[in-house]
Structure 1
């Protein structure tokens, strides 16, 4: 049942991307040895024009556990050159977001389209009340201009490091 639901969800996500319901992202499933693994999705979110994240291509992996859909998936950002500079992302790249937390926002009825929309929105709208990186949350609250400058510099460096790794 899990694979069937994930296959249906994946196709719905592809349609949502094609219809621009989900914008600024690509999603692929894990393919190894001519086999498709719907429990592991490779996601890239492209920094939206006009935001401090513009110009960035932020990759990560959406992993679906054995207990899915009862248990929520996890999302881990790919790290290049150190920690991901977002106040709600742990040092190891794991995301702290309500829609992936079954105690707060996740239910088995949550769709993958909702999760991916939540991931993109989360990038642009951090939650300083629930930070994993307190120092960045403090800057965000006390000096938004400095925060924006830090994120723009991070995006630039992230892309440089990403390109180095891909060569």
Structure 2
């Protein structure tokens, strides 16, 4: 089987597993193309903000882009550009060790583990791996304003897409 076949087979299995059992409030599904076919290499996801956090009430859209080399290479994960989080670049790209081939990526990591890991990152950011300077400075020097910005963003994304 060609490597692309391995990626698609693995993603088809992950899709089946997700449909049977996924965390409450999360959405993860392959993109549907105009002709009605499914593109297993691009998934549209929603990550809910956890209850009891400043992220609560938000349903944050994320796109997961897989390559033909999956699961040997991690997917790229992107929020809309301008997403407010210390570990998200202005482009929307997520900076998380399990999404880096040079740090924590392992082929055994699943779509579910990635999405839950990103949700955990919302309220437990890694300031040592800052991707947005403005966000990082607020986090370090003005926590009330940082938290206010997070709550404002949660309101902007308050309905699941």
- Alignment TM class, shorter chain as reference: 0.7 to 0.9
SS at match of 2:38: strand
Question: Which position in structure 2 is the counterpart of 1:38?
Answer: 40
Higher relative contact order (CA 8 A, sep 6+): 2
Question: Which position in structure 2 is the counterpart of 1:16?
Answer: 21
* Deviation at residue 109 of structure 1 after TM alignment: 1.8
* Deviation at residue 35 of structure 1 after TM alignment: 1.3
SS at match of 2:21: helix
- Give the Cα separation in 1 of the matches to 2:109 and 2:51: 28
How do 1:89-104 residues align onto structure 2 when only pairs under 5 Å count?
A: 89-104=88-103
Question: Which position in structure 1 is the counterpart of 2:30?
Answer: 29
* Deviation at residue 116 of structure 1 after TM alignment: 1.5
The 4+ residue runs of structure 1 with deviation greater than 4 A are none
Contact 2:61 2:80 in 1 (8 A): yes
TM-score of the aligned structures, taking structure 1 as reference length: 0.83
Contact 1:69 1:108 in 2 (8 A): yes
**Cα deviation digits, residues 40-70 of structure 1 (max 9, x gap):** 1100112222211122121011111121111
For structure 2, which runs of at least 5 residues remain unmatched after alignment? 1-5
- Give the Cα separation in 1 of the matches to 2:40 and 2:138: 39
Question: Which position in structure 2 is the counterpart of 1:114?
Answer: 113
Identify if the C-alpha distance between structure 1 residues 149 and 73 changes in structure 2 by more than 3 Å, giving closer, same or farther.
same
- Give the Cα separation in 2 of the matches to 1:108 and 1:61: 19
- Give the Cα separation in 1 of the matches to 2:17 and 2:123: 24
TM-score of the aligned structures, taking structure 2 as reference length: 0.86
Task: Give the total of aligned pairs.
Answer: 155
Contact 2:7 2:67 in 1 (8 A): no
Question: Which position in structure 1 is the counterpart of 2:133?
Answer: 134
- Give the Cα separation in 1 of the matches to 2:67 and 2:123: 27
